[in-house]
A and B are shown apart, each in its own frame.
Chain A
């Protein structure tokens, strides 16, 4: 085999590998999409139609709305708390710093169902006002804070303090140097934190399952789960699952296009 043929062989193998990876990743989405538009007829034949999507609009949209609202408020809280906390954890040395970080990180190592159960106990029996919508927000904000913290800490560790020092020497106070210089330059870290928090809080299901118990307030993923249990994998349930996946995907793509890349552009120029 000559060099040209072997290169061709290697390239083809690489492409094949990529196609297989994409197929595996896209398979669940594709299967769900096909199922959502395949309507079985009484005579055994299958008709392709988008009518299941019409059927779910009325009942499923409020759940999507609820999930989006919870995810957005969670992102807001985690950004406001996580970014300054990450800055403090990277920049300043204080007693108990490692213990604090381990404690915040600890949530990640607790099985989801145990965390959810602890929240139900705490919210229901101790903090009764934290039920329903704000219960979800509180649970997700605490549960996913470490994601924002970790991604921002990595960004702060790579952030050269001389930019902040330069801003301070040019007359910017702490807040203005943070807003005008630090924040744009740690953009990728914050972007990654926001995206992870969105994807996880929008699609979260285990904690929601237990938290919804006392209040019956259903998020979109919980509604899909509940419908599967009640009706099996019907076309309307598949349509709900497809909508859920599409919204996640569209939000991520739009965010990266209009917000994420702006920050990334700044940093690539470093």
Chain B
């Protein structure tokens, strides 16, 4: 199995850097995801790893071997494309056999391998179909089978589910995860869908404007975003501009003011009194509480409901707290209590919130 590493890879188109000094490491047998909005450079990074794009600067390593100069056909990779790339003039059997024929495998080996990979993707009996006779999901499974057949060292997925309908997408993402676990291959997966990335990844690289903003597990990224972009891109957040009033080094809790609001939030080293910070509070971390529950929360504020929107699994309410609007997601059976609650006074409590030091602008 193979460890993939990139070192300062950069690709510029005219003066714009599509990928800017990206350092990525995908450990052996791990599922690594590049997550970011359209045009952030994640697909370019993947194509550089595949050898389809040559970087202006930097190196790509498979284990300790520098493969930057190798063409894609010499890297032993499997690449699954965003749009189905099954050869339209070949049936499923010939498509799967293509990579094996290029490796001069014996006919019996090819037949055995076709059977084997079709079993893995649960597509037995489709050998003689033409790509045009397959649905989107079936074609994507065949494409995965085609790359698995060549037994690649690394599997690269470039938003393979983005053109598939929501239900099938949900099914296939777990299928891809299962295949990764069964085959034990190193996988690098590109997506703009954070739910997809969270469901299947061991490690996520969040990219924006060609650079990696944060690396972490799904939980780390969700709980402790380190840049305003990550905080706004992953999940939903309330952003408040704040100033550090006080620091408690023993408990690692900072007291922060935002307008007339005062909050307590955990901090990491490097923060000083009077520093400008961005306070991030997730709508699902704020609860509507009663007077008796005050003691359970480190931060309690009072406000008036401005608006409530029912969204099925939850009700989103906007509460005005001393001129600042906080978004709150109410789940469970309580969500029905706030459907017509405009103008109602409520007490809000939250324990979790994170601070982003040095950020002064609220992300769009």
Contacts and interface: CB of A to CB of B under 8 A. Distances in A.
A1 interface: no
19 contacts: A163-B87, A165-B72, A166-B87, A168-B71, A169-B77, A169-B78, A169-B147, A170-B73, A170-B99, A170-B150, A172-B102, A173-B73, A174-B71, A176-B102, A269-B89, A269-B130, A269-B132, A270-B88, A270-B132
Q: Chain A contact residues: over half helix, strand or loop, or mixed?
A: helix
Contact of B52 (A165, A181, A266): A165
A184 to B, nearest CB: 5
For chain B, the bracket of interface size reads 20 to 34
A166 B79 contact: yes
Interface in B114-154: 130-132, 146-147, 150
B88 A162 contact: no
A168 B74 CA distance: 9
A39 B27 CA distance: 89
Contact of A166 (B71, B85, B89): B85
Interface in B62-86: 71-73, 76-79, 81, 83, 85
B71 A173 contact: yes
A172 B73 contact: yes
Contacts of B98: 167, 170, 172, 180
For chain A, the bracket of interface size reads 20 to 34
Contacts of B78: 169
Interface of B: 50-52, 71-73, 76-79, 81, 83, 85, 87-89, 98-99, 102-103, 130-132, 146-147, 150
Given A171-B150, A185-B89, A165 B79 contact: yes
Nearest to A262: B89
Given A162-B81, A176-B102, A168 B52 contact: yes
A263 B81 CA distance: 24
Nearest to A170: B99
A7 interface: no
Nearest to B76: A171
A267 interface: yes
Interface centre among B50, B72, B78, B99 (most CB of A within 10 A): B72
The 9 closest A-B CB pairs, nearest first, are A266-B89, A170-B99, A171-B102, A169-B79, A166-B85, A269-B132, A168-B72, A270-B88, A162-B85
A269 B132 CA distance: 6
Given A165-B52, A165-B79, A269-B131, A171 B87 contact: no
Interface centre among A166, A169, A270 (most CB of B within 10 A): A169
Contacts of B89: 184-185, 263, 265-267, 269
Given A160-B83, A176-B102, 18 more contacts: A165-B52, A165-B79, A165-B85, A166-B81, A168-B51, A168-B71, A169-B50, A169-B72, A169-B73, A169-B79, A170-B98, A170-B102, A170-B147, A173-B71, A185-B87, A263-B89, A265-B89, A270-B132
Nearest to A173: B73
Nearest to B84: A162
Contacts of B51: 168
Contacts of A172: 73, 98, 102
